[in-house]
Amino acid sequence: MVSSMTSRRIFVLTSLVTAALIAAVVIAVHPWQTLNRTSGTADIGGSFTLTDQDGNRVSEDILEGHLNVIYFGYTYCPDVCPTTLQDITTALDLMGEGAKDVRPILITVDPERDTVEVLKDYVSWFHPSLIGLTGSTDEIEAVKTAYKVYSAKAPQEDDETGQNYLVDHSSITYVMGPDGSFLTHFAYGTTPEEMARTLEDLL
């Protein structure tokens, strides 16, 4: 009896410590969650100057007049980015006519390799309305700061050219309103059906 009580107590304690550790990791990896709770959602977003896949200089004005689904990623990403962009594409396909009021945007976190030409080719694989944005290192850092996006180069072994690095990055999809304000976000793994439903509710 005593020993089973003790082992139960140890189990509960271990569970609590594990839960606390998981919470700490989640908050460390997803700083926007703390941010939403402490300082309000209005902190995400803001002005930017970037270049689209056709070479046009654009600002936050492109957000006006429709819902915007903004994803930060990079074209060399082997998995998370193409999966997310494909899910966004599927969500827009599911929305039918409503999709015309939604603008999907990819902002690169790898401006060094994601040139206008590279982006132009890449966005053509996804929804026809997808806009790709790149810029100078400073411009990308500024928009990352505005959207509380984390990314960092992850150099690979055996990379003699230094051009085959990966980029670790947060993988949140932001839904921004027609006035550029933050409305909600999709965590990685949100299904196209859920995305479509949320977007339809917001339209």
81 interacts with Ni ion by CB under 5 A? yes
Q: Decide if residue 80 touches Ni ion (CB under 5 A).
A: yes
Q: Is 176 in the site for Ni ion (CB under 5 A)?
A: no
Residue 92 makes CB contacts below 8 A (sequence gap 6+) with: 99, 102, 104, 127, 129, 196
Q: Which CB atom, from 113 or from 197, has the smaller least distance to Ni ion? A: 113
Please report how close the Cβ of residue 89 comes to Ni ion at its closest, in angstroms: 15
Contacts with Ni ion by CB under 5 A: the residue count is 4
Residue with smaller CB distance to Ni ion, 99 or 122: 122
Q: What beta strand segments (E) does the chain contain?
A: 49-52, 57-59, 67-73, 102-108, 131-134, 151-154, 166-169, 173-176, 182-186
Reported residue count of the chain is 203
Determine, following the binding rule CB under 5 A, whether residue 109 of this chain makes contact with Ni ion: no
Query: Does 77 contact Ni ion by CB under 5 A?
Result: yes
Give the orientation angle of helix 192-202 with respect to helix 80-95, to 10 degrees. Answer: 50
Q: How many CB atoms lie within 10 A of CB 130?
A: 22
Q: How far is the CB of 188 from Ni ion (least distance, A)?
A: 9
Between 81 and 176, whose beta carbon lies closer to Ni ion?
81
99 is a contact residue toward Ni ion (CB under 5 A): no
Residue with the CB atom nearest Ni ion in the bound state: 77
Sign of CA dihedral 143, 77, 163, 116: negative
For Ni ion, the binding residues (CB under 5 A) are: 73, 77, 80-81
